[in-house]
């Protein structure tokens, strides 16, 4: 039958099913293909916390949402236009998020009595009218996959696992995406098991042609490429960008990169990614625990490497004493904290911004470190380089905060030309004349003297050091002097970081401030408000300890300040404490990122009060 064709400006799609249904793979392939087509894209993977939740239950639902458009976008979309639900549990978990009138593509084969009961349905939602108002498309995905692979020689289990490729092929047809990139990926991924490769390609094409031939779809959609700045792009997640950023910092500084890390969700992908780059001199050490991970990084930094360690909130707590050792010995290490829901084990696969106060204050004694935060997946690349630069220049530990949302999410990244990234200057002391381990340069940084350098032998450890000599000292005046000196060194970094930039209407009465991964939702909300001829400004913090030098003057200009955070108001607390700012908090602690309309509604309310 002849199909209608309709151009769209943007679409939000969510794939959902059991954790064994391949939803992350399906979403990733759709994302990569969409990026190759030239659309701007932003993603939100959603993993179940349970490693082996019972099949068919709501606890085991895995989802992948992507938003693609012909214009620049900042978020993975507030509410899906399309849900592909592989079973009743996927429908039940995700139905509340859909737009009114959204399309729901359902694997009708899975809506049998057992699965309905496992999902908590007393009656079949396909029959009780609860889906009225949605465009429900019932597709027998499982039986169509089995039919396509009849006689393939695969087991029933392997055939069932291929149904995600049928759904992917169908969605490629529906949104005018090419299948060739995924076919190439299948050939590469399964080259050692050609039977599986051929089966997946066959099912992919079966799904594509089903979209073309079925009467269930009367319209095919297409989204024009986005008009992005010219250059070479790739789809990149925050964890991938973080890894590449530190490799770049290693090359630009001329120092080898060492990662000491204990696997922890959602930071483990940085370890996996860096382990692929041994040809760049990268050394990765999977430690037996969090403490071993950071102490190995301290040892690597002491010996002249770019020493880094990755973790999440619970791991940062365990690294606390060793981080104090790095402060006392003044070695340049970077701790990457990919934040997740807490406290304790909390919500391992969900996002949060709950570690800010821990990063700034969470150590014994007066123990200042530098704290910076990335705001988007691609920004993780640049903030990783910046973390290394600051650590080297000031001989100080740096904590780089990301979060599960931007770490697992992806967006198009314009690959920079290597020459546009500045060299990172590193001072390694080699002269023995006049050497003392705690002499200071103009940045208050002590000399970096590598072990084994003749004449530069020195002791290092966690006990308080005498000024200049570095000898162990219990002198009270010396202790106070060293405490104040270490604090002043971190504070002086405000002279070496960019000013806080205000976007939007500089003459507005309301300023929205944020930090980290809330950037996209805040930015989209502010832009929509301004499109309605209302004035609002936005400032986003990437540097938190120390704050940018102009922070006080910026905050004083506005009658009201709103701070959306995925916590109970941690940045708000810091701004109130340091600048006496009258900040109104707007908090969400659900393991989910803000939707831009949530912030937009809050801004509208505050503007109405002015």
CATH of the domain at 250: 3.40.50.970
pLDDT of 170 strictly over 70: yes
Average pLDDT over residues 227-249: 95
Q: Are 245 and 383 in contact (CB under 8 A)?
A: yes
Domain presence at residue 44: yes
Task: Please count the other Cβ atoms lying within 10 Å of the Cβ belonging to residue 290.
Answer: 24
pLDDT digit string (tens) for 303-336?
999 999 999 999 999 999 999 999 999 999 999 9
> Closest Cα partner for 520 from 512, 510, 511?
512
Beta-strand relationship, 333-339 and 82-85 = unpaired
Q: Exposure of 9 by Cβ count < 10 A (0-12 exposed, 13-18 middle, 19+ buried)?
A: exposed
Element (H, E) at 148: helix 141-148
Q: Where are the beta strands (DSSP E) in 360-483?
A: 370-373, 398-403, 410-414
| Edge-to-edge strands, sheet with 10-18 | 40-46, 61-69, 10-18, 82-85, 103-107, 135-139
First to last CA, the chain: 57
> CB under 8 Å to 219, separation ≥6 — which residues?
3, 4, 5, 6
Same domain, 216 and 269: no
The answer on 342 and 211 residing in a single domain is: no
Q: Do 204 and 248 share a structural domain? A: no
Provide the 3-class DSSP secondary structure of residue 546.
coil
Contact between residue 489 and residue 443 where contact means Cβ atoms under 8 Å apart: yes
Going by pLDDT thresholds of 50, 70 and 90, the confidence category of residue 52 is: confident
Q: Which of 74, 2, 49 is nearest to 346 (CA)?
A: 49
- Residue 349's domain comprises 234-420
User: What are the residues whose beta carbons fall under 8 Å from the beta carbon of 605, sequence distance 6 or more?
Assistant: none
306 within domain boundaries: yes
Tokens of 297: 């990084």
Per-residue pLDDT tens digits for 16-50: 999 889 999 999 999 999 999 999 999 999 988 88
pTM: 0.95
pLDDT tens track for 490-504: 999 999 999 999 999
Domain boundary pick from 197, 222, 247 = 222
Average pLDDT estimate for 528-538:
97
Q: Decide if 333 is inside a domain.
A: yes
Could you tell me how far CA 178 lies from the centroid of its own chain?
28
| pLDDT over 70 at 271, yes or no | yes
CATH code (residue 37)? 3.40.920.10
Residue 76 counted as domain residue: yes
Mean pLDDT across the stretch 95-118? 97
Answer yes or no: do 324 and 243 share one domain: yes
> Given 355, 388, 420, which residue is the final one in a domain?
420
Three-class secondary structure assignment of 295-331 = HHHHHHHHCCCEEEEEECHHHHHHCHHHHHHHHHHCC
Instruction: Flag whether pLDDT at 84 surpasses 80.
Output: yes
Q: Do residues 134 and 209 both lie within one domain?
A: yes
Q: Both tokens of residue 494?
A: 């405000």
Are 190 and 280 found together in one domain? no
Same domain for 507 and 576? yes
452 domain residue, yes or no: no
276 plus 200 within the same structural domain: no
Query: Which of 386, 420, 454 is the C-terminal boundary of a domain?
Result: 420
Mean residue pLDDT of the chain comes to: 96
The number of distinct structural domains making up the chain is: 3
181 lies in the same domain as 257? no
Q: Answer yes or no: is 432 within a domain.
A: no
Res. 290: pLDDT tops 70: yes
Task: Identify whether residues 351 and 385 lie together within a single domain.
Answer: yes
Q: Does residue 58 belong to any structural domain of this protein?
A: yes
Q: What is the pLDDT of residues 111-158, one digit of tens each?
A: 999 999 999 999 999 999 999 999 999 999 999 999 999 999 999 999
Inter-residue contact 104 to 91 (CB < 8 Å): yes
pLDDT at residue 466 is higher than 80: yes
State the average pLDDT over residues 86-110: 97
Contact predicate 406/517, CB 8 Å: yes
Could you tell me if 532 and 406 lie in one domain? no
Q: Which residue has the tokens 């964890």?
A: 239
Query: Considering the domain boundaries, does residue 566 fall inside one?
Result: yes
CA distance 313 to 342: 7
**53: pLDDT strictly greater than 90:** no
Residues 176 and 244 in one domain: no
Output the six-digit token pair for 393: 């220049």
Burial of 577 (0-12, 13-18, 19+ CB in 10 A): exposed
Query: pLDDT band at residue 1, thresholds of 50, 70 and 90?
Result: low
């Amino acid at each position: 039958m002849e199909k209608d064709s309709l151009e769209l400006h943007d679409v939000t799609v969510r794939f959902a099913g059991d954790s064994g249904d391949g939803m992350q793979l399906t979403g990733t392939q759709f994302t990569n293909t969409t990026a190759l087509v030239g659309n701007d894209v932003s993603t939100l993977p959603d993993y179940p916390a349970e490693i082996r939740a019972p099949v068919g239950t709501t606890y085991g639902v895995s989802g992948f949402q992507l938003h693609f458009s012909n214009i620049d976008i900042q978020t993975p979309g507030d509410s899906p236009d399309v849900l592909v639900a592989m079973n009743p549990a996927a429908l039940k978990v995700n139905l509340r998020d859909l737009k009114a009138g959204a399309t729901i593509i359902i694997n009708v084969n899975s809506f049998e009595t057992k699965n309905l009961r496992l999902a908590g349905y007393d009656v079949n939602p396909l029959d009780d009218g609860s889906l009225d108002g949605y465009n429900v498309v019932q597709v027998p995905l499982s039986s169509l996959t089995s039919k396509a692979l009849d006689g393939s020689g695969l087991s029933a289990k392997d055939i069932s696992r291929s149904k995600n490729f049928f759904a992917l092929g169908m969605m490629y047809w529906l949104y005018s995406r090419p299948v060739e990139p995924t076919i190439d990926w299948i050939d590469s991924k399964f080259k050692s098991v050609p039977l599986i490769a051929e089966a997946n390609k066959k099912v992919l094409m079966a799904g594509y042609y089903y979209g073309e031939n079925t009467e269930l779809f009367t319209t095919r959609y297409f989204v024009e490429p986005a008009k992005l700045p010219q250059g070479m792009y790739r789809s990149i997640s925050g964890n991938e960008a973080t890894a590449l950023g530190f490799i770049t910092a290693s090359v630009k500084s001329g120092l080898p990169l060492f990662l000491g890390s204990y696997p922890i969700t959602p930071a483990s992908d940085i370890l996996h990614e860096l382990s692929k780059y041994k040809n760049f001199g990268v050394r990765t050490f999977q430690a037996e625990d969090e403490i071993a991970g950071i102490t190995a990084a301290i040892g690597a930094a002491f010996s002249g490497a770019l020493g880094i360690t990755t973790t999440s909130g619970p791991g940062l707590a365990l690294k606390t004493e060793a981080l104090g050792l790095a402060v006392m010995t003044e070695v340049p290490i970077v701790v990457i904290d990919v934040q997740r829901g807490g406290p304790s084990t909390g919500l391992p696969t969900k996002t949060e911004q709950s570690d800010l106060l821990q990063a700034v204050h969470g150590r014994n004694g007066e123990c200042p470190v530098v704290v910076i935060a990335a705001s988007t997946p691609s920004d993780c690349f640049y903030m990783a380089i910046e973390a290394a630069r600051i650590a080297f220049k000031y001989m100080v530990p740096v904590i780089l905060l990301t979060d599960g949302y931007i770490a697992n999410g992806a967006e198009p990244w314009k690959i920079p030309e290597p020459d546009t990234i500045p060299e990172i200057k590193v001072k390694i002391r080699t002269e023995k004349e006049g050497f003392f381990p705690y002499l200071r340069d103009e940045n208050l940084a002590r000399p970096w003297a590598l072990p084994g350098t003749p004449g530069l032998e020195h002791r290092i450890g966690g006990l308080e050091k005498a000024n200049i000599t570095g000898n162990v000292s219990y002198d009270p005046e010396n202790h106070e002097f060293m405490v104040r000196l270490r604090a002043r060194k971190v504070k002086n970094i405000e002279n070496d970081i960019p000013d806080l930039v205000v976007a939007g209407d500089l003459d507005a009465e309301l300023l929205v401030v944020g930090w980290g991964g809330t950037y996209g939702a805040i930015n989209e909300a502010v832009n929509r408000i301004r499109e309605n001829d209302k004035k609002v400004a936005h400032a986003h913090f990437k540097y938190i300890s120390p704050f940018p030098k102009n922070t006080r003057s910026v905050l004083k200009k506005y009658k009201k300040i709103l701070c959306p955070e995925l916590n109970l108001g941690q940045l708000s607390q810091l701004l109130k404490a340091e600048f006496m700012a009258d900040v109104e908090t707007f908090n969400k602690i659900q393991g989910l990122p803000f939707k831009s309309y949530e912030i937009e509604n809050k801004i509208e309310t505050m503007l109405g009060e002015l």
